[in-house]
Every structure is written in C-alpha cells, then in structure tokens.
C-alpha cells in the first residue's frame, strides 16, 4: 500500500518502519490527509500477522511541528459558520472534530501491536501527543531535539490526550508545570520526567527503537493494565492535598485568570485522574471544545500562531525581488545596541564587521558577544566550538574601508542626527551601489535621515529592541523614497537572524514606541492622581502586561523619558507634553537623581543581589495618596489596555501600520501587550468596536483627551466592522495576485 505522506517498509524481523515525510513541506504537520493515512497505516500494521510492531519516525531534520495551522483555522471557521444557523449543532460539530485526533491516537495505542516513536528532531504539540500514545519512545541525543506541548501559548491546550497521558507518566507537579507553561524539553529532561524511555546516538536512533520491539515491548500502555497506580499517588491523598491547592494559587498568581486554557488544563488533569483513562479523554475533549469557543483562543491562535508564522515567512516581503544571501554585513557603532546586533548576526552564521571610532571601542563591542556566548556555553546551551565559530565571524575595526563588500550596513551610532549623517556618508563612500543602508533609530524619522544618503532608495530603518539577543521583534521603517529591494533585503536580514519583522511607515516614534510611551504616560498620570505606586504596577500586571509601567520606565531610563519629553516640546511645542508629567520626571531626575536601573535608583530601588528591587518609598511623598479602597482596580486595568489600543488605532488611521497582523504581533513581541487579547487591535475586535468606543468615551469623560476614540473607530463602530475586515491583509494579497 502506498501513501503520499508516509512510507512503510517492513524488515526481515517483521518490524515496520513508518517514515513521515510530507512532500514539498519543510516540516511535517498534521493535516486531514495525514490523519487519514495514519489511520490506514495503523490498520495495516494491526491487520498483518507478519508485522510484529512499528517504528514511526521522520524523513526530515525535524520530527513534526504538530497540527497544521490551516486545520485550526478551518475548525474555527466551520464552527462560526454553523453557529450562525444552529448553536447546539455547531458545538456538537466542534466537539466531534476536536476529538478526532485523540481518537486516532487512542486507536494506535490499543491496536494490539507495539509502536515506538523515534524522535529525531523538533517534536511539538500533536506530534508529541502521538509519541506519548506509542508504547515506546526514543529520542536522538542532539541539540536539535526539543519536545513540548506548547498549545497554551496560543490560547488552547493539548487536546489529543496530552493532559491525560503526561500526568500518568510524570509526577503531577512536573506534569502541571510542563502543560501550563508549554516549556521545551530536552531529551534528558523528558527522560528524567518519564516521558521518553531511551536516548540514542542519532545514527543509532532507528536501531534502538527497533530493539525495543525485538526485546518484547508490551503493546499495552501502563494505564490500560490492571493495578495501574498514578506516579504521584491518588488525587485524594496527602500528596494530592499538598499539590492541588498551591497549584491553583500559583496559576492564579501567574496568569491573573486571563488565560482560560491554562485553567482548563488544571481541570482536565484533576478531573481526568479521578476516572478511567477513556473517561479522562472525554473530559479533555469537552474542555477543549469549550476553550475553542473563547475569544482568547480565537485571538491568540490568529496572532500568535497564524499571523506570527505568516510574518516570519515574509508575508510583507515585496514580490519579484530575488532573496538575499548575506555574505557580509557591517554594523556601525559598537555600543550596547550595535554589539547586540553584531552578536545576533554572527549567531546566524553571517560574517560581520563591527566598526567604531577606535579599535578599543570596537574590540569592547566584540567582547560583549564573547560574554553572551560564554554564558550560553556555561548554561549548556552552546558548545565551545559554537563560541569559536561565532567570534571568528566578528571583525572589529575603526576603518570604514573594511565595509567594502557588505550587502547591508546597520547603523547603530549615537542618537544624534549629525553623528548619523557622518556615519552614513563615510559608509556610502566605500559601499557597492547595490548595498542597503539601514539606520537603527528609535526617535529620528527615516525620511529625514535619508536626506544624508546619495541613494535614498536603498535607505531604510531597522529598529531593534533592547536587549537585542532576547527581543524577538524588529520594526522595519520605510522612508518616503525607500524602494522595494531595500525592504526585501531588510526583511531577509531580520528573518536570517530569526526575528519577526513588521513594516511601518515613517513617523515620530514609529509604532511600538508610540504605544509604549502611552503606557508609561498613563502610569505617570495615575501617580499624579495619587494612585499608590504598588497599585499601578499590580493593575498593569493583572491586565496582562509582563512588566509594570514604572519598572519599564526604569529599564529604559527615567532620564531618557526626560530627554524625549524635552525633545517633543522643542519639536511640537509646550502643549505636546503634560506639564504635570514633565514636572514629575524633572523631580525624579533633577531633584532626586533617580535615573532608573542604570544608577540603581528610579521608581524602584535596586539593592545589591540577591535582594530584589522594591518600589521607592519616596514615591508616596510626591503626591497626596488616595485611599486604595476607593479606587476602581478594574478601571485601572482598563485604562492601561485602552490607552495603548487607542494609539494603535490612530496608527492604523494614519497609515503608519497598514496590516493588522503587524500591529497585533508587534505589540505582543515588543512590549508584551496582554497576549491573551491577541494584541492591540484584536483587543478591540474581540470586544467589538461599538463596545470599545463606548468604554473609551466613559474613560475620556473622567481622564481626558488621550481616551478620545479616533474617527476610524467611530466609523467601524457604526458599520460593525473589525480591523481584520477593514484592513483585510489577505484581500490585499489576493488583489496583488490577480493584478
């Protein structure tokens, strides 16, 4: 029997090797066709007396990424189409569809023949759930092997048996941590948890897997045997009493109740461990159906699964421009930002010239890379040879002539127009005509900087976020004369260094900083109102932000906030900045010398480690404190989310961002805008424009003009539109193809 996505070869010992290798796909994923074929293969193995057992592996470098995103999209689309006609029928359809994969894996593990999963690379989501349904699991001893059930990160949870098999194999505490965090497991970690049986040399992976069957692997899972006992003991036991109440409290502390899927995982595990395995699967299926109907799941799947993948694959890349294979990249400025850019470039295997005013400064920049990679080696995340290879790719220099031959130069010098002008002119003097010049600026408009260039078509902005090695987003900024090729090269570069690109048009603060400044500004306003600082920070975190606005201001520097305010006043006039907020920041910087984390004191005090930072007690003396009991905590949360979302809506109205996917993904990756909402625009779409405008109006009456909804939102509210309907990114792509 032949298959499109699998090959089945039976050896002399009667062991079938099932190799998953989807044609024209870089990674194996579960599709309807794949599940149909696997179903037939299970029947083939079970029904052939000559086959003693089966090993399933991948013909690619990775094992599988799990479910195909189009399957999830289709599941939700069919549900919403059917729901418009008959809600109960729609829910039944969703329930049946949600249980299909779980039923397939249950069929595999009860087929009567032993199955072994030979995991040769990345094994995620449904693929790991399938592996857990196999009677034996072997992973290659390789850095390429990562196993995880990461569904909670996109608003859902492992709904094909993951919540039932993991806690029956691993101790319940480790199981809950893995399931609710979506953490990656190395082969060693997975073996330590009891989720895999063996680790083999990559060359001996299949041999080791087959040996398990030859040595008499039982075709029965532990939970299907009489007398099976849970690894952590019964739920109703002393051990259970010590686990479950704290687990619920910890989840509440970590998520503030914003992630329904994480709560559902706890319910699935708790309830599932009280009943037989098949009943547990039914409970999981029920909760999965419930979670798939939530706004959080719909928005997170769209932004953090579908849109993120599309942007990472170059959704905004101009068509008809040949891809760039980078042979050499230049970085101007070896300070903290430039050194970080050099590091991620070299880490991607691209030779980089790191230039500064003198060799000492350039060498210091390279030392930053040495420090970062040494730390990775120390933690076991990189090898000594990786360090040697990376450092060999970085050439420190003070001579602009060394930029000759660069495909791209990234300028990261001091944020001063004159300094940037000089760097641009000196670099262009030695660059080949086709080279692209990219300025890493966070405040100066790209069109203004491009006036220093003889080739404005090849001039573009690339805005990195600090620290470069950890932040996943890069804003690509188009000047008025930036050409398609420059944009394509910039996107190719950002993808090469494994970061997500978003494309924005030129404006002060671009997209991300405009939103971030609103976040900080609202916190300053609350302080001035007399809201206690701890309440401000807690409200922001409870709203879903990873870092409170006062802590974030400290990280970016309080004196930088002062410089931005002063520059804004110089450029736009006194009315552009709230005088009370200016006074607050001046008091912090000029009167108290509190510059932020960099000098150990800002809105927080930063004592020597291991002591933790704590809010500066002097904050409560700056303004008369209101009674916390009389402050609406929910309203504080709303203010933070609404003020940021309104700025994102203005950015769309002004045409600074034109694709809602970029606004959403950018807001989450750059500053952690409440991921459960799906991002700034999905927050509005999830609530509905009409309801959002009403909320904004009520906040405007109380707190002022920053909550005034733009005309765009009023228009959308009247028409009942969403951002993804109004600015449909797929319609634009289809229109281009048609043209």
- Which residue of the set 133, 142, 442, 682 is catalytic? 442
Catalytic one of 117, 452, 458, 513:
513
Q: In whole angstroms, give the CA distance from residue 65 to residue 57.
A: 13
Phi and psi torsions of 112, nearest 5° = 90, -5
How many whole angstroms separate alpha carbon 206 and alpha carbon 450?
A: 57
Length of the chain: 739
CB 352 within 8 A of CB 394: yes
Q: Which of 133, 84, 77, 128 is nearest to 110 (CA)?
A: 133
CA distances from 311 to 316, 462, 650 (A): 7, 16, 22
Distance CA 97, CA 159 (A): 11
In angstroms, the CA 126 to CA 102 distance is 9
CA distances 193 to 160, 198, 657, Å, are: 20, 12, 45
**C-alpha closest to that of 42 among 1, 72, 12, 71:** 1
Q: How far is CA 712 from CA 382, 666, 709, 727, in A?
A: 49, 21, 8, 12
Which class for 731: exposed (0-12), middle (13-18), buried (19 or more C-beta within 10 A)?
exposed
Catalytic site residue from 135, 197, 368, 463: 463
Question: What CA–CA distance (Å, rounded) separates 554 from 545?
Answer: 16
Q: Compute the distance between CA of residue 727 and CA of residue 682 in angstroms, rounded to an integer.
A: 13
Give CA–CA dist 177/173, Å, rounded. Answer: 6
Cα angle 272, 277, 282 (rounded to 5 degrees) comes to: 65
442 catalytic? Reply is: yes
- Asked whether 483 and 456 are in contact (CB, 8 A), the reply is no
Q: CA distances (Å), 60 to each of 22, 149, 310, 312, in order?
A: 9, 20, 22, 20
Selecting among 129, 475, 647, 662, the annotated active-site residue is: 475
Judge whether 463 counts as a catalytic residue.
yes
Q: Which residues are catalytic?
A: 442, 463, 475, 513
């Amino acid at each position: 029997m032949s298959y499109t996505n699998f090959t089945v070869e039976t050896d002399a010992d009667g062991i079938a090797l099932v190799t998953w290798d989807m044609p024209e796909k870089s990674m194996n994923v579960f599709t309807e066709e794949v599940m149909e074929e696997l179903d037939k293969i299970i029947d083939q193995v079970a029904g052939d007396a000559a086959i003693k057992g089966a090993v399933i592996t991948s013909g690619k470098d990775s094992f599988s990424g799990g479910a195909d995103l189009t399957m999830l999209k289709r599941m939700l689309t069919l549900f919403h189409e059917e729901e418009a006609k008959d809600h109960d029928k729609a829910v039944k359809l969703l329930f049946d569809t949600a249980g299909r994969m779980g039923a397939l894996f249950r069929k595999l593990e009860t087929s009567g023949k032993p199955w072994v999963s030979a995991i040769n690379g990345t094994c995620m989501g449904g693929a790991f759930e399938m592996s857990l349904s196999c009677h034996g699991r072997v992973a290659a001893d390789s850095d390429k092997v990562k196993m995880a059930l990461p569904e909670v990160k996109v608003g859902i949870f492992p709904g094909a048996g993951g919540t039932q098999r993991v806690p029956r194999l691993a101790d319940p505490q480790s199981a809950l941590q893995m399931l609710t965090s979506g953490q990656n497991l190395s082969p060693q970690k997975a073996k330590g948890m009891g989720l895999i049986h063996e680790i083999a040399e990559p060359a001996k992976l299949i041999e080791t897997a087959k040996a398990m069957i030859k040595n008499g692997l039982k075709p029965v899972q532990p939970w299907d045997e009489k007398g099976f006992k849970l690894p952590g003991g019964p739920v109703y036991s002393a051990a259970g009493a010590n686990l479950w109440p704290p687990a619920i409290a910890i989840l509440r502390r970590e998520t503030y109740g914003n992630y329904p899927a994480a709560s559902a995982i706890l319910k699935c595990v708790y309830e599932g461990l009280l009943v037989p395995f098949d009943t547990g699967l039914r409970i999981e299926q029920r909760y999965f159906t419930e979670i798939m109907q939530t706004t959080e799941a719909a928005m997170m799947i769209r932004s953090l699964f579908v849109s993120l993948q599309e942007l990472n694959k170059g959704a905004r890349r101009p068509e008809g421009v040949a891809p760039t294979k980078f042979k050499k990249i230049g970085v101007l400025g070896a300070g903290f930002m430039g050194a970080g850019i050099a590091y991620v470039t070299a880490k991607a295997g691209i030779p980089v010239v790191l230039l500064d005013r003198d060799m000492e400064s350039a060498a210091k920049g390279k030392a930053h890379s040495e420090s970062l990679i040494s730390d990775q080696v120390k933690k076991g995340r990189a090898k000594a040879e990786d360090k040697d290879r990376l450092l060999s790719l970085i050439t420190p220099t003070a001579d602009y002539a060394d930029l000759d031959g660069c495909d791209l130069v990234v300028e990261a010098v001091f944020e001063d127009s004159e300094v940037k002008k000089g760097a641009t002119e000196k670099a262009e003097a030695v660059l080949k005509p086709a080279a692209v010049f990219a300025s890493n600026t966070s405040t100066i408009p790209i069109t203004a900087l491009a006036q220093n260039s003889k080739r404005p078509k090849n001039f573009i902005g690339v805005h990195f976020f600090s620290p470069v090695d950890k932040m996943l987003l890069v804003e690509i900024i188009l000047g008025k004369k930036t050409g398609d090729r420059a944009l394509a090269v910039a996107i190719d570069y950002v993808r090469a260094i494994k970061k997500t690109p978003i494309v924005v048009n030129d404006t002060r603060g671009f997209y991300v900083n405009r939103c971030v400044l609103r976040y900080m500004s609202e916190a300053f306003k609350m302080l001035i109102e007399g809201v206690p600082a701890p309440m401000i920070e807690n409200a922001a975190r409870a709203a879903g932000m990873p870092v409170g606005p006062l802590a974030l201001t400290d990280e970016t520097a309080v004196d930088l906030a002062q410089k931005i305010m002063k520059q804004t006043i110089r450029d736009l006039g006194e009315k552009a900045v709230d005088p009370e907020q200016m006074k607050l920041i001046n008091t912090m910087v000029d009167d108290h010398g509190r510059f932020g984390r960099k000098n150990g004191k800002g809105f927080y005090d930063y004592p020597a480690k291991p002591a933790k930072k704590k809010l500066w007690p002097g904050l409560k003396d700056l303004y008369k404190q209101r009674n916390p009991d009389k402050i609406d905590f929910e309203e504080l949360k709303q203010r933070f989310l609404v003020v940021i979302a309104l700025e994102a809506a203005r950015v769309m109205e002004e045409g600074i961002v034109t694709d809602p996917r970029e606004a959403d993904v950018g807001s989450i990756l750059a500053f952690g805008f409440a991921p459960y909402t799906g991002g700034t625009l999905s927050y509005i779409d999830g609530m509905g424009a009409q309801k959002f405008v009403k909320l904004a109006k009520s906040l405007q009456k109380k707190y002022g003009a920053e909550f005034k909804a733009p005309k765009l939102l009023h228009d959308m509210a009247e028409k009942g539109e969403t951002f993804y309907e109004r600015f449909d990114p797929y319609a634009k792509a289809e229109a281009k193809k048609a043209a």
